[in-house]
A and B are shown apart, each in its own frame.
Chain A
């Protein structure tokens, strides 16, 4: 069934988009990542203009996060104070990101920068996650006690920041500036890459801040919900690239998939699930890296003036 996307200006197979949204939704339900890191490249691969793909997948992540946040908050799995600080940082970051996006678009380097960011971030996080999951898997197989998630609970540069706050849910006593900066970074990346930032937030909270694992996924989803909403607004105002029909199709798939994913994850051992996510992330990173070095399909690209 073909549907015409009014902003992207092309017609797509509606079923393909819904299935894509559903697959990404399952991932987001299982791992607490928005799945934008998969949606955006796949949409671009399908022929959707990059700006529209980035903007519309941000809208989709908002929807996919809602049900996750609701479920986690019922289980007290959201630290609203930490989430609020992250959201504040994310809002500022998405505004700055919108500005940078325009600048890069004008200079013609936006596609390269997006590609490089994807390779660097996904490669780094994929390797870190795979190593950690592998270590846990080996430990459980040999019967040894699993190694702790964080080796360092106390980091000097974070402790050096002024005005510390207590975050009860997260079990932290740190300066709000540190999570604010983290939020800022994810907000920036959300606008530039069309990702919810969960795949950065979750490892950063776990491994850098040492947030208690109980609230990590919920708080990450909470932050993603607000920052992707802000990003949708920034894109609607600056690039006019949010395609409601495309976002709607993705949403129908992803909100359903998210529910299925949150059921599935209870049947899989957490370290196995983390290993799966790590492998998916690494696959995307390798594919993007190859895409940058292969001779592109089109040497020439056009931009309206």
Chain B
């Protein structure tokens, strides 16, 4: 009886010991795309808190950065009558516009395929939800094509070994953000992994937006198309006229 009582009293402590906590942070919660934007380096760092105070031997971290999802149409080219034209297409309901995963070790050694699929860790584990209802084979072909394209533009990437964990309690990851990054609100998910299972997770939000003049131009083009078009014509007329004037003066 006494044993049971002490066990019950210790239960919260035991549970707490089983679940460490993540305290994540990022170097920038707001990335501004201005005129000189050629990409950015995002630093994700944080601490792992163990209620027992003692960190276990093997601790692994995976950091997933995801951009806003969007519906897409993927087209496939084929050679028809000697030239390459789009002949087939597949719709996808929600494709992350940006996806990067940084891990401390190769993904295969880190988590079981099942866990990776559930948490969408790794580019091949993304759920892209094809919407055409074509055969599974065909959907897989289009998915591979889409992922390959995204990888090539740097919008999908896997950085193995980009996360370093110090003494089991501090981690940091440096993730490059390419210049072609789409705007929107991003999430940075950090997973603490032990023995192939996810034991803790935490999320931070990052906003990527055009700023200053770039933002002004983009919103003007979207919301005031008539004024924007007239401004573009005005600019070209003005520059053409100025050049004619300038060169006429040089000649005389």
Residues of chain A having any CB pair with chain B under 8 Å: 2-4, 6-7, 9-11, 59-60, 62-67, 70-71, 108-109, 111-112, 115-116, 229, 232-233, 235-237, 240, 242, 244-245, 247-248, 251-252, 255-256, 258-259, 292-296, 298-305
> Which partner residue on chain A sits nearest B238 by CB separation?
A63
Residues of chain B having any CB pair with chain A under 8 Å: 33-39, 70-77, 79, 82-86, 89, 91, 142, 145-146, 148-149, 152, 179-180, 182, 210, 213-215, 217-218, 221-222, 225-226, 228-233, 235-237, 239-244, 247
Per a CB cutoff under 8 Å, which of B142, B152, B221, B243 touches A258?
B243
Chain A residues near B218 (CB-CB < 8 A): 6-7
Q: Determine if B225 and A236 form an interchain contact, defined as CB atoms under 8 angstroms apart.
A: yes
Q: Determine if A247 and B236 form an interchain contact, defined as CB atoms under 8 angstroms apart.
A: yes
> Which partner residue on chain B sits nearest A262 by CB separation?
B247
Q: Provided the pairs A109-B85, A302-B72 are in contact, do residues A11 and B232 lie with their beta carbons within 8 angstroms?
A: no
Q: Determine if B210 and A6 form an interchain contact, defined as CB atoms under 8 angstroms apart.
A: yes
Per a CB cutoff under 8 Å, which of A60, A111, A240 touches B221?
A240
Chain B residues near A115 (CB-CB < 8 A): 83
Q: Determine if B243 and A259 form an interchain contact, defined as CB atoms under 8 angstroms apart.
A: yes
Give complex CA distance A223, B239 in Å: 19
Q: Determine if A305 and B235 form an interchain contact, defined as CB atoms under 8 angstroms apart.
A: no
Q: Determine if B233 and A229 form an interchain contact, defined as CB atoms under 8 angstroms apart.
A: yes
Q: Determine if B36 and A251 form an interchain contact, defined as CB atoms under 8 angstroms apart.
A: no
Q: Provided the pairs A4-B214, A65-B240, A258-B243 are in contact, do residues A301 and B74 lie with their beta carbons within 8 angstroms?
A: yes
* SS class, residues of chain A in contact with chain B: helix
Q: Determine if A244 and B232 form an interchain contact, defined as CB atoms under 8 angstroms apart.
A: yes
- What 5 additional pairs, Cβ within 8 angstroms, besides A62-B233, A232-B229? A245-B217, A251-B240, A293-B83, A300-B148, A305-B73
Q: Determine if A301 and B36 form an interchain contact, defined as CB atoms under 8 angstroms apart.
A: no
Chain B residues near A292 (CB-CB < 8 A): 83-84
Chain B residues near A240 (CB-CB < 8 A): 221-222, 225
Q: Determine if B148 and A255 form an interchain contact, defined as CB atoms under 8 angstroms apart.
A: no
Give complex CA distance A276, B214 in Å: 40
Give complex CA distance A215, B3 in Å: 107
Number of A-B contacts (CB under 8 A): 177
Q: Determine if B243 and A67 form an interchain contact, defined as CB atoms under 8 angstroms apart.
A: yes
Show 22 A/B contacts (Cβ-Cβ < 8 Å), sorted by A: A2-B38, A3-B35, A4-B38, A7-B218, A9-B180, A60-B236, A112-B86, A232-B232, A233-B229, A233-B233, A237-B225, A237-B226, A237-B229, A247-B232, A247-B236, A255-B239, A292-B83, A293-B82, A299-B77, A302-B75, A303-B75, A305-B70
**Smallest beta-carbon distance B77→chain A, Å:** 5
Chain A residues near B84 (CB-CB < 8 A): 112, 292-296
Q: Determine if A59 and B233 form an interchain contact, defined as CB atoms under 8 angstroms apart.
A: yes
Chain B residues near A301 (CB-CB < 8 A): 74-75, 77, 86, 149
Chain A residues near B39 (CB-CB < 8 A): 11
Give complex CA distance A247, B222 in Å: 17
Q: Determine if B86 and A4 form an interchain contact, defined as CB atoms under 8 angstroms apart.
A: no
Q: Determine if B221 and A242 form an interchain contact, defined as CB atoms under 8 angstroms apart.
A: yes
Give complex CA distance A11, B180 in Å: 7
> Which partner residue on chain A sits nearest B152 by CB separation?
A298
Chain B residues near A63 (CB-CB < 8 A): 235-237, 239-240
Nearest first, the 10 closest Cβ-Cβ pairs linking A and B are A66-B240, A236-B229, A300-B145, A63-B236, A67-B244, A255-B243, A63-B240, A259-B247, A62-B236, A6-B214
Chain A residues near B149 (CB-CB < 8 A): 298, 300-302
Give complex CA distance A303, B235 in Å: 30
Chain B residues near A229 (CB-CB < 8 A): 233, 236-237
Chain B residues near A304 (CB-CB < 8 A): 70-73
Q: Determine if B180 and A10 form an interchain contact, defined as CB atoms under 8 angstroms apart.
A: yes
**Smallest beta-carbon distance A292→chain B, Å:** 4
